[in-house]
Amino acid sequence: MWLIVDEAHVTNIAVREPYRGKGLGEKLLREMMRTASWLGMLRMTLEVRVSNEIAQSLYRKLGFYGAGLRPGYYSDNGEDALIMWAELVPEENAGTEIAGAAEGERSS
């Protein structure tokens, strides 16, 4: 995760295939969001393959919303990336709630 001014950028998050579907990706991302908030970040962004609907569903569940496309972002096959953003809850109010999740999904 990169920290730039008041924004956190998730550079990579992955779960090995035998461990998928057990909630580990959600736990990893929730912890990244909590840590970013604790470090004073106000927003978080990431890119996800447009074909990766499972990941997009998780990100939306945690309050991320689509904000644009990066054409040809992935060098292995030239696939586009969906840019997603989430507002972070200030650490003192974070608890288990994630900003955006309580507000509902935003339209892009």
Identify the active-site residue in 53, 59, 79, 97.
59
Among this protein's residues, is 47 annotated catalytic?
yes
Question: What one-character-per-residue DSSP string does 68-91 give?
Answer: EEETT--TTT---EEEEEEEPPPH
DSSP single-letter state for residue 19: G
- % of the chain with per-residue pLDDT over 90: 81
Full residue range of the structural domain in which residue 81 is found: 2-107
* Per-residue pLDDT band at 107 (split at 50, 70, 90): very low
- % of the chain with per-residue pLDDT over 70: 83
Among this protein's residues, is 19 annotated catalytic?
no
**Contact of 37 with 94, CB cutoff 8 Å:** yes
Identify the active-site residue in 19, 26, 47, 74.
47
* Per-residue pLDDT band at 10 (split at 50, 70, 90): very high
Tens digit of each residue's pLDDT (9 = 90 or more) over 35-81: 999 999 999 999 999 999 999 999 999 999 999 999 999 999 999 99
Number of domains in the chain: 1
Q: What is the CATH number of the domain that holds 93?
A: 3.40.630.30
